[in-house]
Chains A and B, each alone.
Chain A
Amino acid sequence: MNTIYHIMELLLPFDYIRYDFMKNAFLAVLIIAPLFGLLGTIIVNNRMAFFSDALGHSALTGMAAGILLGVADTGISMLIFGILFALLLNKIKHSGIVTSDTVISVFSSFSTAIGLVILSRGGNFSKYSALLVGDILSITPPELFRLLFIFIITLVFWGVAFNKLHAISLSVSLAKSKRMPVALIDNLFVVLVAVVVMLSIKWVGILIINALLILPAASARNLSANIREYHLFSILFSIFSGILGLVLSYYLDMAAGPMIVVIAALLFFTTLAVRPFVKQ
C-alpha cells in the first residue's frame, strides 16, 4: 500500500494528496467510478434505472436484518439480502403478472419501510443515517482491495458475457432464438449489480448510489453512436466526475458523494445540450 501511496504522491503534486484519507478516497473513486460507468451502460440500456434504485434502498433492510439476527458485520447481511432481493425482484418482474415499474416500486418502498421500522426502533435511526449519504473519506485499504476484487470480477464477466448481455438487451426473443441462457445471464447481471451496490453503498450512500450508476451512462448515450463509444464515454465521464467531485469537496468543504453526483448531473445536461451538434 505504501508503494501505491508513494507513486500517487509523485504523480499528483497537489496539496490534498498529502493525506492518507484523500489517497484512499482517490483510489476508491478510481475503482468505483469505472465500475459504475461500466455497469451503468447496461442498466441504462435495459431501462433498469428504477431497479438499481430499489436495490440501493434494500440496503437498509439488509442492515436491519443483520442487526436483528445479531450478525457482527452487517455488510454480510446486506450483501446476502441484496442478492436475494435482486433475484426475487427479477423473477417477479419476468413473471409478467404486474407491470415492472409497479413491482419495483412495491419492493422498493416495502424494503425501505421495513428497514426504517426496524432501525428506528427506540428512536435510534440517526445511528444509521450515515448510510444515506455515505462517506468515501472513511474507506480503508482492506475495503479498497475488496472493491478491486469485485472490479476484476466485473471485468471478467464483461469479457465473457458482454455480447450475450448486449444481445439480450437488444431483443430477448432474438437472444432466445440463438439459444442463449437468457435467464442465467440476466440473473448473473443483477447479482453482480447487487454485490457492487452493497459493497460500495457505505461509501457512496443510498440516496446517491443510483445517480452514479445512471448519470455517466446516460450522458455517454447522449453522444455515442456505437457500443465502444458508449462504454468509453461512460467510463470517462464517471471517472472525471468522481475525481473532480472529490477535489471540489476537499476545497469547498462539502460532502464528497453528493458533489460527485452534482458534477455528473451537470455533465449530463451539457451532453444533452451538445447532442444535436454531435449526432447529426
Chain B
Amino acid sequence: MFRRKLSIVFCIMLCFSIISFGLISAFGRKPVDVSKDDIVVVASIYPVYLITKNLCDGVDGVHVVNLTENLTGCSHDYQLTTKDMLMLETADILVINGGEMELFITGAAEKLSGVTIVDSSMGISFLSGNAHTHKEDSFDPDKNDKKNNSADMDKQSSNTQKNEGIDVHDTEIHSSINGHIWLDMVRYEKQIAAVAEALGKIDTAHAEQYFANAERYIMEVETLYKEYQKKLAELQDLEVVLFHDAFYYLCDTYSIEVLHGVDLDAESALSAGELAELADEVRFHNVQYFFAEEATGDAAVQLAGETGSSVIFLDPITSGPDKLDAYLTAMRQNLDLLFNCCKTKK
C-alpha cells in the first residue's frame, strides 16, 4: 500500500517536472546574445539608462541594458528578479543614479564581484526628501524661499549638516535624500558628464567616443533648457503644490516656488487631517496648480475638486520608450505643460 502511494507521489512529481520542462522550453528565457569580449554596461533605472544608451551610441562591442526594464512606477518599491540578478552577475559596469534611488540593489551589490559601480550623482547636490513647509511659517514667502534654498545640500559635506531637523543621511522614515535629480536639466547634464568620465576611465579604448557623445547629448539638453528659460520666466512668482518628490527638481530648474510637497506612493493615501490641512493651506495661498504624476494623482485630483485648483500631470521620466531622445521628448512635453500654466495664469 505504502509503495503504491509512494509511486503515485513520484508519478505526480514526474508529471509536474515534465510540464515545467515543457513550459521552460516554450516560454523560457533565451540567453542574451553577448559575445565574451563585449563590455556589458547595466544601468539601474530608466533615466541613467537613457544617459548610458546615449553615451554608448555607436560604440562597438558595448552592450547597454536597463536593469529595471519592466518598472512602471518609481524605483523605491522595485524587487530584483532572478533575471536581474543574473544580469548584474554578467555586468562589467553598473551605472546607478545614486541618491538612494537604488535601494533595491544595496543587498545584491555587496555580493557583486568584478563589477565597477559608477555613481552618476557624484558631486551633485541633492534636495532633501519630503521637505515641506508648515502652515505657520509659510505665510512669509521670503522665509519660505530661504527654506527651500537651504534644502539644497552638498552630498559630500552632508554627513554633519542638518536642515531644520532633516538629516539627509538618516534613513529614518521621514528623512531621506530626494534622488530624482534627472528632472533638473542642469543636474542631468552633470550626470551625463560624470558617467562619460567614468566610462572613459574604465574603457579607455572608447573614451573619445564617450566624450564626443556626451558633448552632443549635453548640447541637446542645454538647448532645450535655454529654449524654455525665457518662456518660463513668468513662473517664478507662481506657487505650486507637488504630489511627487521628483518634481522638486523640475521646479528647482526654473525657480518655481513649492508651497508644499506631498510624497505619495501607490500604496499610501493621505489621511483626512492632512488633506484638510492642505486644503486650507492651498486656499490661503490661492495656489492654482498641483503638479502630479498620472499614476499617483488621485489625491491631487481630489484636492483640486475641493479647492478649485488645476492638476497638471507631469512625467517624472521614471519609465518610457526605449529611444535615444526619450528624455528630451518627455522633458519638452513637461516644459510645454508648464508653459501653458504661464499662459493661462491670471
Chain A positions near chain B (C-beta within 8 angstroms): 19-22, 67, 119-127, 129-130, 133, 135, 137-138, 140, 223-225, 229, 233, 236-237, 240, 244, 247-256, 263, 266-267, 270-271, 274, 277-278
Contacts and interface: CB of A to CB of B under 8 A. Distances in A.
A244 B17 contact: yes
Interface of B: 1-2, 4-5, 8-9, 12-13, 15-17, 20, 23-24, 27-29, 74, 76-77, 79-83, 85-86, 89, 103-104, 107-108, 111, 130, 172-174, 262-268
Label chain B's interface by main secondary structure: helix
Given A123-B264, A123-B265, A253 B81 contact: yes
Contact of A126 (B8, B16, B265): B265
B9 A138 contact: no
A97 to B, nearest CB: 34
B17 A137 contact: no
A26 to B, nearest CB: 12
A17 B46 CA distance: 30
B42 to A, nearest CB: 15
A98 B302 CA distance: 42
B5 A229 contact: yes
Given A122-B130, A253-B83, A138 B173 contact: no
A247 B28 CA distance: 11
Contacts of A274: 8, 12
B172 to A, nearest CB: 8
B16 A138 contact: no
Contacts of B24: 247-248, 251-252
B152 to A, nearest CB: 21
Contacts of A124: 173-174, 263, 265, 268
23 contacts: A21-B89, A21-B108, A21-B111, A22-B82, A123-B263, A124-B265, A124-B268, A126-B267, A130-B79, A133-B79, A224-B5, A229-B2, A233-B9, A240-B16, A248-B24, A251-B29, A252-B23, A252-B24, A252-B27, A266-B16, A267-B16, A270-B15, A274-B8
Contacts of B82: 22, 137, 249-250, 253, 256
A21 B13 CA distance: 25
A225 B1 contact: yes
A94 to B, nearest CB: 36
Given A121-B173, A229-B2, A253-B82, A138 B108 contact: yes
A137 B80 contact: yes
B175 to A, nearest CB: 9
Contact of B5 (A120, A122, A278): A278
Nearest to A124: B173
B265 A125 contact: yes
A19 B85 contact: yes
A233 B266 CA distance: 42
B79 A255 contact: yes
Contacts of B28: 251-252
Contacts of B172: 67
Given A121-B173, A223-B5, A252-B27, A126 B20 contact: no
B45 to A, nearest CB: 15
Closest 4 CB pairs of A and B: A126-B77, A251-B28, A126-B265, A123-B268
A224 B264 CA distance: 51
B80 A135 contact: yes
Contacts of A140: 111
A228 B147 CA distance: 70
A138 B5 contact: no
A270 B80 contact: no
A157 B267 CA distance: 41
Contacts of B89: 19, 21
Given A20-B111, A125-B267, 15 more contacts: A67-B172, A120-B268, A122-B130, A123-B268, A124-B174, A126-B76, A127-B76, A137-B80, A229-B5, A249-B82, A252-B23, A252-B29, A253-B83, A256-B82, A270-B15
B8 A223 contact: yes
Contacts of B76: 126-127
Given A223-B5, A253-B29, A266-B16, A122 B174 contact: yes
Nearest to B175: A122
B107 A138 contact: yes
A278 B8 contact: yes
Nearest to A236: B9
